[in-house]
Amino acid sequence: MTSLPHTQRSIFICLVLTIATLAVYGQSLRFEFVAYDDDTYVAKNNAIHNGLSLASVTWAFTTNHGGNWHPVAWISHAIDCQLFQLNPHFHHLTNILLHITNTLLLFSLLQRMTTRSWPSALVAALFAWHPLHVESVIWIAERKDLLSTTFGLLTISAYLSYVYHGRAWRYVTTVALMAIGLMAKPMLVTLPFVLFLLDYWPLDRISLGKALPIERTVLIRPRSPGWLCLEKIPLIILSTTSSVLTYTIQNHHGYRTATDVLPLDRGVANAFVSYIRYLGKMFWPTDLSVLYPHPYLAGGQPWKSWQIGAAGVLLLAIFAIVTWAHRHRYLTVGWLWFIGMLVPVIGFVQVGMQAMADRYTYLPLTGLFIMIAWGLSTWFTLLQSRKIVKTGAVVLAVGILIACITVSFSQTRHWRNSVTLFTHALKVTPENAIIHYNLGTTFKDQNKPGRAITHFQEALTINPNFLDAHLNLGGLLIHQGQINLAIFHFNKVLEINPNSTDGHHNMAIALQAKGQTGPMVQHLQHVVRLTPLDAAAQLSLAIALANTGYAHEATFHFAEAKRLRPNWVNPLMAEAEILLTGPVPSPQKQRRAVDLIQKAAQLTEHHDTGVLDILAEAYAIMGKYDTAIHIAQNALDLALKESDQQSIRHFQQRLGTLQHQQSIKRQGRPPPLAP
């Protein structure tokens, strides 16, 4: 295979990389969205469901949805929705194709910089098939990871063209590509540092000491370190801007953990241990989880002093080794690539509940892969006269790749759906409150309340102050008739956060179930005070006030709900229903109710069978059966058109009742009350 011409060898390598990657990840074409960020990013994100449009692009550039500013990622998801709607199989396909693109780009770049095909191929293969990268590839919400890497590698490619051939437009292209990459995910803020490392090796633009020679087809002019730093200033400005913007947005949305909750020394301690854990999982990728609980946050198990100390000593030892072996510059570059690229996500500034994350390694691990590939290549070259050693190096490399493919294929299967993903995560991280909670919400959505309750309770056993677990558990307990226990959990919510709107709203529901209307109204009033611009909160309070005899106050809040959301049907229908069924009916109230429902029908273009049903009932209450029958017939026609069997049966029965009432009225007898 070594004797293959250069072009044929490259084509062969690219084919192997592509086919094997498809073999590992192709199974995901049958997978579902998972109930962990996929809903936020795609499945329940109405802003992109209509595909690519001026509205969706404008939204992408102006939203902080998800606690980040990454418009390029949103546009990518919108394009998928345009092409494939909400079919998760094709959203997975896009991720796979991006991963293959990144793999081939990485191979091409390394080969271009070093003229070495096989070490470049080994790095690309490890990148393509390493189990730590499964999360970035399979998780649809991590499209941003793949996209930022694509543009990061394209940035390096443009930078190489600039280094090899000069010209300002090539440098401008480099800056533009990095800007796009940062708009996909700000992980690329350390890319200027990576480019500086590449200047050191393999580009050899810095004259510092004696390095092992690299064959070149293009002469590169050496530069001083000062010049190379000056050259990166536009890129550094981009990185700084992106870092400040990201910090500001995440702090505003409450994703950054405050230092009074997680002091800096504990963040640094976890960072040291995490570097070693990443190294360990790179060499022995087992017990992989979608979330690793943070040892110093709620429910975590703090690191022991000896673990922190050992991690620090090991890191220093590796730094010493790569410094000692400075002639092998790939060791220095690979190690600093790994260490440096992880800095934004290692936890010095904590965002989220994770101690570390597989997805964070997507591009940083490339540094370690370079150390491995060029280390094996050096071994191969130094001992090439010993055939058994050469054979051993090849067998070792092939064995590593086969192991990676096998483990990655197995790890990918866990991402089939939310239940398989979270169940596996709990097997490897059993004391994981967030995953118990996620599995609970999944079972809740699947209408399996018993299993959901079990996992919410497990989450609360690990973290008794888990507010969302209390809320969801209380909601399920209401449906099971355990009102007092539900109230206990809602009280816990309000102890944790007295201004929790969900806590007050859910407490109101529980109190209503107990018939305690006074306290119920008080909690709904608290919700309105906290969120006066929330139309739904205004509507809930209006309905509660109307049902407890405070008609005048209710009218004000109905009006507020309609003012805040002028085209919202719900307040119109709720107010109309109260007017029709209230304790003191009158022709004036009935006419007012009909006016409200007519407006709702206009807003829905007379295509909402529920609105038409209540409108028909209103006219029947007023004794206008001809009009009621006409409206009910229109509703039946809509149901027939939509093949809605339940609605068809309902409106057939409704028409029969109305026609019977009309017949009674014509006979001069008082009709029965409308159903």
CB proximity list for 22: less than 8 A, separation 6 or greater: 96, 100
The answer as to whether 293 is a domain residue is yes
Give the pLDDT of residue 675: 47
Helix (H, G, I), strand (E, B) or coil at 531: coil
**Number of other residues whose CB lies within 10 A of the CB of residue 561:** 26
Phi/psi of residue 293, nearest 5 degrees: -60, 140
183 vs 397, higher pLDDT: 183
Cα 626 to Cα 62: distance, rounded to the nearest angstrom? 51
User: Residue 673 has what pLDDT?
Assistant: 52
Residue type for 173, please? T
Q: Is residue 581 part of a domain?
A: no
Spatial CB neighbours of 302, under 8 Å, sequence gap ≥ 6: 266, 295, 296
Task: Tell me the per-residue pLDDT of 177-186, one tens digit each, with 9 for 90 and over.
Answer: 999 999 999 9
Contact 188, 72 (CB under 8 A): no
| pLDDT above 60 (res 321) | yes
**Is a pLDDT exceeding 50 seen at residue 162?**
yes
Alpha helices in 85-115 (DSSP H): 88-114
Mean pLDDT of 148-177: 97
Nearest to 579 by CA among 546, 623, 538: 546
- Give me the pLDDT at residue 561, please: 95
Instruction: Supply the range of the domain harboring residue 38.
Output: 6-413
* Separation CA 244–CA 338 (nearest Å): 23
Evaluate whether 48 touches 78 at the Cβ level (below 8 Å). Answer: yes
Share of the chain above pLDDT 70, in %: 96
273 within some domain = yes
Residue with tokens 């690229």: 341
Is pLDDT of 2 > 60? no
Q: Are 487 and 510 in contact (CB under 8 A)?
A: yes
pLDDT of residue 46: 95
What pLDDT, in 10s, does the model give residues 257-273? 888 889 999 999 999 99
pLDDT for 666 equals 79
Please check the confidence at residue 233 and state whether its pLDDT lies above 90.
yes
pLDDT-derived band at 121 (thresholds 50, 70, 90) equals: very high
Residue 17 lies in a domain: yes
Closest CA to 87 of 46, 47, 42: 42
Cα separation, 454 vs 450, in Å, equals: 6
pLDDT at 425 over 60: yes
pLDDT tens digits along 494-509: 999 999 999 999 999 9
Over 80: is that where the pLDDT of 4 sits? no
| DSSP-derived 3-state class of residue 222 | coil
Q: Would you say residue 218 has pLDDT above 60?
A: no
Q: Mean pLDDT, to the nearest integer, of 520-532? A: 97
- Asked if residue 332 is part of any domain, the answer here is yes
Q: Is the pLDDT of residue 670 over 70?
A: no
* pTM of this prediction exceeds 0.85: yes
Cα 96 from Cα 106, distance rounded (Å): 15
The alpha-helical segments, DSSP class H, found in 466-534 are 467-479, 483-496, 501-513, 517-530
Within a domain: residue 633?
A: no
* The pLDDT of residue 53 is above 90: yes
Q: Does 462 fall in a domain?
A: no
Q: Which three-class secondary structure state does DSSP give residue 343?
A: helix
Measured CA to CA, the distance from residue 627 to residue 607 in angstroms comes to 17
- Say how many domains are in the chain: 1
What b/e string do you get for 656-671 counting C-beta neighbours within 10 Å, with b at 16 or more? ebbeebbeeeeeeeeb
* pLDDT of 416 over the 80 cut: yes
Assess if residue 259 is contained within a domain: yes
* pLDDT single digits (tens) 576-610: 988 888 777 788 888 999 999 999 999 999 899 99
Q: What is the pLDDT of residues 442-453, one digit of tens each?
A: 999 999 999 999
User: Looking at 43-57, 448-462, 570-584, 630-644, which range is the least confident one?
Assistant: 570-584
The pLDDT assigned to 669 comes to: 61
Of 16-25, 632-641, 659-668, the range with the lowest mean pLDDT is: 659-668
Give the whole-angstrom CA distance, residue 209 versus residue 320. Answer: 17
Q: What is the mean pLDDT of the chain?
A: 93
Q: Compute the distance between CA of residue 181 and CA of residue 292 in angstroms, rounded to an integer.
A: 27
Question: What's the whole-number mean pLDDT along residues 51-60?
Answer: 96
